[in-house]
């Protein structure tokens, strides 16, 4: 059976992975892929539209995102102290959130993140490597969120090594019962956003698929 990391990286293909280090770019990938008829492409587009049939518009933060259903919405600060944004809840059991998308505004310092659309392969590898070392991620890739804009896509780790005494060496392992899919990108009007998938108790392929399509549909008004 495919392990979680391999499973998540395979799922990245649904959004269009930037193949780094393989000598294959998007054009090469399209050439190697089986040709699709216009009818097949139209069917796929219709399926995606039907799967995300509800368009949520945030009046407070000024964005739209296609959702699988009308969500219950709470402020992100109720779950993440000091964060701006909203949690779009699709399934919950009381206070236990089972499936939701977390949309965070001002999720990163715009001056700290380089322009992902202009990064060459070497600089992209270096930047992602730094992020992997300084954050609790199991896997991370640079992806094509849309035809024009790239994003960082990551899977959080279940175990993270932590340096608690500041000596530069990890001395404690923090463990989590769940994992999240996380994206970071600049919106079409320059906003610094992160959209994250909560899917408990385990990340499901179907939930990842819908989440990825939702991230692609995200637009600043």
Residue 4 has pLDDT above 70, yes or no: no
Pick the residue with more confidence: 35 or 186?
Answer: 186
Q: Which residue has the higher pLDDT, 181 or 51?
A: 181
Please check whether residue 84 is in contact with residue 105, taking contact to mean a CB–CB distance below 8 angstroms.
Answer: yes
Q: Give residue 206's pLDDT band: very low, low, confident or very high (50, 70, 90).
A: very high
pLDDT for 102 = 98
pLDDT surpassing 80 at residue 142? yes
| Contact (CB, 8 A) for 155 and 179 | yes
Residue 127 has a pLDDT of: 94
Residue 166: its pLDDT value, please? 67
Q: What pLDDT, on the 0 to 100 scale, is given for residue 126?
A: 93
Residue 46 has pLDDT above 90, yes or no: no
Angle of helix 205-217 versus helix 38-51 axis, rounded to 10: 100
CA-wise closest residue to 66 among 80, 50, 81, 55 = 55
Mean per-residue pLDDT for 74-88? 96
Answer whether residue 116 shows pLDDT above 80. yes
Residue at token pair 């296609």: 66
Calpha distance 120→115 (Å, rounded): 10
Q: In the prediction, which pLDDT does 177 show?
A: 77
Q: Flag whether pLDDT at 67 surpasses 60.
A: yes
pLDDT band at 163 (very low <50, low <70, confident <90, very high): low
Q: Is residue 8 a contact partner of residue 205, using CB atoms and an 8 Å limit? A: no
Is pLDDT at 158 greater than 90 in this prediction?
no
Give me the pLDDT at residue 170, please. Answer: 66
Please check the confidence at residue 15 and state whether its pLDDT lies above 70.
no
Instruction: Give the chain's domains with CATH numbers.
Output: 4-32+53-163+171-220 (3.40.1000.10)
Quote the percentage of the chain above a pLDDT of 70.
71
CB atoms within 10 A of CB 40: 11
pLDDT in tens, 99-110: 999 999 999 999
DSSP, residue by residue, 97-155? EEEEEEEEES-S-TTTS--TTT--HHHHHHHHHHHHHHTTEEEEEEEESSSS-EEEEEE
Nearest to 149 by CA among 113, 197, 103, 203: 113
Task: Please say if the pLDDT value at position 51 is more than 70.
Answer: yes
Q: What is the mean pLDDT of the chain?
A: 79
pLDDT at 45: 44
- Can you give the pTM of this predicted structure? 0.75
């Amino acid at each position: 059976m495919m392990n979680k990391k391999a499973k998540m990286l395979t799922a990245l293909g649904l959004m269009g992975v930037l193949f780094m280090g393989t000598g294959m770019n998007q054009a090469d990938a399209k050439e190697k892929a089986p040709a699709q008829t216009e009818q097949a492409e139209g069917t796929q587009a219709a399926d995606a539209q039907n799967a995300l049939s509800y368009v949520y518009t945030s009046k407070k933060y000024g964005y739209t995102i296609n959702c699988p259903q009308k969500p219950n919405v709470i402020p992100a600060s109720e779950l993440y102290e000091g964060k701006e944004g909203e949690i779009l809840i699709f399934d919950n059991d009381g206070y236990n959130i089972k499936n939701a998308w977390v949309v965070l505004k001002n999720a990163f310092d715009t001056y700290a993140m380089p322009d992902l659309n202009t990064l060459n392969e070497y600089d992209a590898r270096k930047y992602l490597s730094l992020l992997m070392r300084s954050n609790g991620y199991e896997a991370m890739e640079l992806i094509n969120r849309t035809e024009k804009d790239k994003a960082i896509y990551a899977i959080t780790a279940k175990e993270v090594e932590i340096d608690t005494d500041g000596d530069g060496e990890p001395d404690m392992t923090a463990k989590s019962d769940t994992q999240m899919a996380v994206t970071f990108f600049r919106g079409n009007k320059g906003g610094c956003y992160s959209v994250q998938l909560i899917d408990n108790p385990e990340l499901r392929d179907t939930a990842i698929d819908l989440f990825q399509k939702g991230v692609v549909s995200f637009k600043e008004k």
